[in-house]
Amino acid sequence: MEASNAAVADALTLFGQLLEITGKDGFKIRAYYRAAEEISRLAGDVADLTLEELVAIPGIGKGLAEKIQSLVATGTHPELEALKAEVPPGLIELLDLEGVGPKTVHTLWMKAGITSVAEMEKAARGRRIRAIRGFGEKKEQEFLQSIARYRSQATRLNRAEAEAVVARVSAALTPGTFEVAGSFRRGRSTVGDIDIVSREPPPQVNARLRGIADEMIDEGDRKTSVRLGTHRVDIRFTPPRQFGSMLLYLTGSKEFNIRLREIAIGKGMRLNEYGLEDRKAGGLREFPDEESIFTFLGMDWIPPELREDRGEIARAQAHRLPPLVTAADIRGDLHVHTAATDGTLTLPDLARAGAARGYRYLLVSDHSASLGITHGLDPERIAAQAREIVQVNQTSPCRLLHGIEVDILADGTLSLPATVLADLDLVVASIHSAFRQEKDVMTRRILSAMASDHVDVIGHPTGRLLGSREAAALDLDRIIDAAADTGTALEINASPLRMDLDDAPIRQAQEAGVKLAIGTDAHTAEELDHVRYGVVLARRGWCAPGDLLNTWDAEPLLEWAR
Ligand code: DGT
Ligand code: CA
Ligand code: CA
Ligand code: ZN
């Protein structure tokens, strides 16, 4: 198979990084990075380009063009292999640490003989990093934090990854006889391990699990643990008559379980995974489903997304649980990219994809032209897009709303003039650069964007990327207050890599009367289906249908934006 543009760009980047790590010629290094940039923003397939066409790309000479052709054909190049052989194998992994680039790796290797993440951690703990010229105590602490993050991210799954693991294990189970429990069922943005409750007889299930598992960690009649890839799945077996209490117990959270057990104790009973025991008379009362346990304890059934001991138990006892938004309430997606920038869909494709999902509208919100944004829209292309949207809307049952994802620049100004923003239906403003500003600077940057008359939604407010980038330092209290004051909505970015805002700030915003907007940030039709992650997240944030702009019709939505 021929290598994709992204794979070629990655290989060119690695080329440059290895040259830097091994301390080679600076001019050549920049040429590789520049070529990687050019290849990654090619509209067509790099594999289709002739040598002459490659040389015609700015910054790519004959030597680089030949290397690119070799990367396309074989995935590598003899010089790249030679460079890899020059460095200890653990060294390249250091580049995965946030805040560690090739220059740092070079210095750590040369000055302290550090060649792996483990050695770097040891050096930082032994206070040997601060002794290196140009580093210092602060840097040493940052390295330790990066390492901790790198380790924890290596183990927790995002929602899409967790779903894939669940799908694999489900193949060994019988539909209708099991339920996924744990943090997965509660809808958490990241999932540690997968917990499943099964009422099928263990021998059958275990035999089938042996067929699909990469490893049987532990096999039994009460519980079996398997490894699928690098991930662990725990399966608990239960007779059907106790299914309810087992599911309740394994769904958690732990804090929720503890609180619920206190309620049971208050009624003279002991709650465990097998049922409710009367503490005086003895005897076990069993429950085939969860509802009957909640009813028995005198409360309403609590949706799993709320089970975190954040006040939901008292509400269930008072029969006053909040009404939660459901997937059926969603009328449109408020953050979508198209082929005009870095997406794959044309406007007619997008309208069809929206109609296929029963949406009344979709917000076209491509990137604005800005530093570091590929093919961002300038005012002229925005005007052209507006004309095409009018065309498409003439026949589409799903209305395309015309928006933009305008860049919030490092100084808090927007990358498009107010006159351009004023003509759009809805404006999402997001940060895409300078993520490491001081907390106060970062916060004020978003506050200035919210102060603009034209900004309706702040996109992916914290900027986190699960597994690769921490949330920016932000004073969310101030941002939520300002959102309430200015009538700006905050996004619930439903990309499984973002999940931003997360549950706790969503609830805080909802309580402050701030509106929330689910956006999938889709670049393809399939990614529109990520809306389900956004709905679960909104439910974890106690959102009622009306709290989400997505549940409104287009007209009231546009009225609100005006
Ligand atoms: P995770 O896997 O880290 O994303 O989070 P969970 O919530 O899935 O936690 P996990 O897999 O350790 O345990 C599954 C459920 O089992 C948990 O949500 C509640 C229950 N559980 C686990 N440990 C305890 C405990 O010590 N006490 C109580 N009451 N329940 C527990
Ligand atoms: Ca779990
Ligand atoms: Ca578990
Ligand atoms: Zn964005």
Reduced 3-state DSSP string for 152-164? HHHHCEEHHHHHH
Amino acid identity of 435?
F
Phi/psi for 224 (5° steps) reads: -130, 140
Q: What are 157's strand-pairing partners?
A: 191
Looking at the chain, which residues constitute the CATH 1.10.150.20 domain(s)? 90-154
Cα–Cα distance measured from residue 449 to residue 15, given in angstroms and rounded to the nearest whole number? 39
Map tokens 């909104």 to a residue: 538
Question: Which ranges in the chain are annotated with CATH 3.20.20.140?
Answer: 327-561
Tell me the CA–centroid distance for residue 256 and ligand 2, in Å: 14
Two tokens, residue 454: 């034209």
CATH code for residues 1-86: 1.10.150.110
Domain with CATH 3.30.460.10 in the chain: 157-237
Contacts for 141 with CB less than 8 Å, ≥ 6 apart: none
CB 491 within 8 A of CB 460: yes
Q: 253 CB under 6 A from ligand 1?
A: yes
Bridge pairing between strands 178-180 and 332-336? unpaired
Indicate whether residue 189 lines ligand 1 (CB < 6 A): no
CATH number belonging to domain 327-561: 3.20.20.140
Q: What's residue 1's pLDDT?
A: 42
Helix (H) or strand (E) holding 420: helix 418-422
Q: At what angle do helices 137-155 and 117-125 cross, to 10 degrees?
A: 140
How far, in Å, are 29, 32, 40, 67, 292 from residue 11 at the CA level? 13, 9, 11, 10, 58
Give the per-residue pLDDT at 518: 98
C-alpha dihedral, 256 to 161 to 468 to 83, nearest 10° = 150
The answer to whether 241 and 288 are in contact (CB under 8 A) is: yes
**Atom of ligand 1 minimally distant from the CA of 261:** 29
* Nearest ligand by distance to the CA of 234: 3
User: Distances in Å between the alpha carbon of 558 and those of 103, 155, 326, 555?
Assistant: 50, 43, 22, 5
492's tokens? 């619930």
**β-sheet bridge partners, residue 426:** 403
Residue nearest to atom 2 of ligand 1 (CA): 192
CATH architecture label of 242-317? 2-Layer Sandwich (3.30)
So what's the pLDDT on residue 2?
60
* Ranges of the chain whose pLDDT falls below 70: 1-3, 152-154, 371-374
Query: Is 296:287 a contact under the CB 8 Å cutoff?
Result: yes
Side chain identity at 330, as an amino acid letter?
A: I
Determine whether 134 is exposed, middle or buried from the number of CB atoms within 10 Å of its CB (0-12, 13-18, 19+): exposed
Residue 249 dihedral angles phi and psi, to the nearest 5°: -60, -50
Please give the pLDDT value at position 371. 65
CA–centroid distance, residue 97 to ligand 1 (Å): 29
Determine the distance separating the centroid of ligand 3 and the alpha carbon of 251, expressed in angstroms: 10
> Phi first, then psi: what are they for 195, rounded to 5°?
-115, 130
Mean pLDDT estimate for the chain: 93
Nearest C-alpha neighbor of 500 from the set 466, 544, 549, 450: 466
> Whole-angstrom Cα distance, residue 59 to residue 510?
50
- The region, left, alpha or beta by phi > 0 then psi within -120 to 50, assigned to residue 530 is alpha
For the Cβ of 225 lying below 6 angstroms from any atom of ligand 1, the answer is: no
Q: Give me Rg for the CA atoms of the chain.
A: 27
Which CATH code for domain 90-154?
Answer: 1.10.150.20
Rounded to the nearest angstrom, the distance between the alpha carbon of 459 and the centre of ligand 4 is 6
Ligand 2 mean position, distance from CA 297 (Å): 25
- Give the closest ligand to the alpha carbon of residue 254: 1
3-state secondary structure of 416: coil
Report residue 17 as tokens: 């990084």
**DSSP state for residue 384 in the 8-state scheme:** H
* Tokens 């009973």 -> residue: 269
Spatial separation of the C-alpha atoms in residues 509 and 484, rounded to whole Å: 8
- Of 333, 370, 294, nearest to 526 by C-alpha is 333
Helix intervals (H) in 319-462: 347-356, 379-393, 418-422, 439-451
As a whole number of angstroms, the distance between CA 104 and CA 20 comes to 10
Q: Which residues contact 53 (CB under 8 A, 6 or more apart)?
A: none
By most ligand atoms within 8 Å of CB, the mutation choice from 231, 254, 260 for ligand 1 is: 254
- The vertex-426 CA angle with 358 and 430, nearest 5°, equals 105
Per-residue CA distances from 557 to 480, 487, 506, 549, 561 (Å): 20, 13, 20, 7, 6
Q: Assess if CATH 3.40.50.1980 describes domain 157-237.
A: no
| 159-170 helix and 531-540 helix, angle to the nearest 10 degrees | 110
Q: How high is the pLDDT of residue 153?
A: 63
Closest atom of ligand 1 relative to the 183 alpha carbon: 8
**How does DSSP classify residue 500?**
B
Q: Where in the chain is the domain with CATH 3.30.210.10?
A: 242-317
Which residues on neighbouring strands pair with residue 455, listed in sequence order? Answer: none
CB-neighbour burial class of residue 20 (10 A; exposed 0-12, middle 13-18, buried 19+): buried
Neighbour-count burial of 532, counting CB atoms closer than 10 A to its CB (0-12 exposed, 13-18 middle, 19+ buried): middle
Give the pLDDT confidence score for residue 41 in this predicted structure. 81
The candidate with the shortest Cα–Cα distance to 496, out of 529, 525, 470, 524, is: 529
